[in-house]
Structures are given as C-alpha cells and as structure tokens.
Structure 1
C-alpha cells in the first residue's frame, strides 16, 4: 500500500511540474485535482488505520455493530412505551373502579 501512495505522490509532483511548465490547461488541472484528492484520501485512511487489507472487513463489522445498537435502542424505546401505556391503562381502570365504588366488592 505504501508503494501506491508514493507513486501517487510522485505522479502528483509530476503533474504539478507539468502544470508549472506549460501553464495550466483544463485537462492538467482536472488530473491534478483528481490525483491530489486520491492522495489526500489515502493519507486520511492511513491516519485512521484503515489502509490495510482488513479495513473493509473492519468497516463492515462496525456497520453491523452500529445497526445492532440502533435495533437494540429502538426495541428498548418500544418496550418503555409499551409499559407506560400499560401502566396508564391500569391507572385508568383503577380510577374507574374507585369512582364506581367497585372497591367495596373486593373488600367483602
């Protein structure tokens, strides 16, 4: 991977020298921008430790982990909402029972 970065940086240096020598035309400028953006992306990935052969697998695992976390969070919120609705329903039923004096039936 390091050889590819060096060759990309060498190509970038060559393109810059070419642009200086003949004045910048559109094709040279586009090639310069393309190569510099690719070299920058490679350096950014290398600084994050994602420039090796297992980087793709690592990113896939991270995506799976993030997806599982989101699913767990969604399930937890659903469970909380379900319990809140159940407790509220039970409170309403108890309130109705007290209002209709149905508690006297339980005491007997």
Structure 2
C-alpha cells in the first residue's frame, strides 16, 4: 500500500466513522509526508545521493561565505593602509621633510 492509498483510506474512514483525534493526526501526518516527498521529487532531491549533494552544496556555500568575508577584510585592510600612507605623506609635506632632503 503506497502513501496515496493510505491517505485515501484514512479519509474514507474519517468520512464514514466520524473523525477522532487519532484519525485526524494520521491524516495530517500522511498528507504532510506525501507533500514532502512530492516537494523533494520536484526539486530533484528524491534519490539516494541527495544527502551527499546537499552536504556538498553546504560546504560550497560555506566556502563562498568565507571567501567573501576574507575579500572584504583584505579590501578594508588595504584601504586603511592607503589612508595611513596618505596621512604620513601629508604630515611629511606639512613638516617640510622634502626641503630637508634636498
């Protein structure tokens, strides 16, 4: 008996005998399980290799996040270095270091 048959049987039971709490819970559980399987199938994640694929995608996403964070840190580091160099050049010009070196 597949999930569709199980859900149909539970629905028929609820219609005929009235619906008690256990039947309602079983209907909800079967329907949600069937919906989850359908969603995974539509996404192409219903095969046995899907778990490994998702693991690899998570690793790839984490590597991308790490690289992006590293690039921002490097850019900020170089920006601060450039600002400090300009500040030192400005101080040197202001103190007249160029005239002393001549």
Q: Hey, what does 2:12 align to over in structure 1?
A: 17
TM-score when normalising by structure 1: 0.91
Q: Which structure exhibits the higher relative contact order, with contacts defined as CA atoms closer than 8 Å and separated by 6 or more residues?
A: 1
Distance 1:42 1:105 in 2: 80
Residue 52 of structure 1: SS of its match in structure 2? coil
Cα distance, 1:79 vs structure 2:
0.3
Cα RMSD between the aligned structures?
1.0
Residue 45 of structure 2: SS of its match in structure 1? coil
Moved over 6 A (4+): none
Query: What are the residue-to-residue correspondences of 1:68-83 with 2, within 5 Å?
Result: 68-83=63-78
Q: Hey, what does 1:102 align to over in structure 2?
A: 97
Is 1:88 paired with 2:80? no
Distance 2:14 2:98 in 1: 92
**Unpaired segments ≥5 residues, structure 1:** 1-5
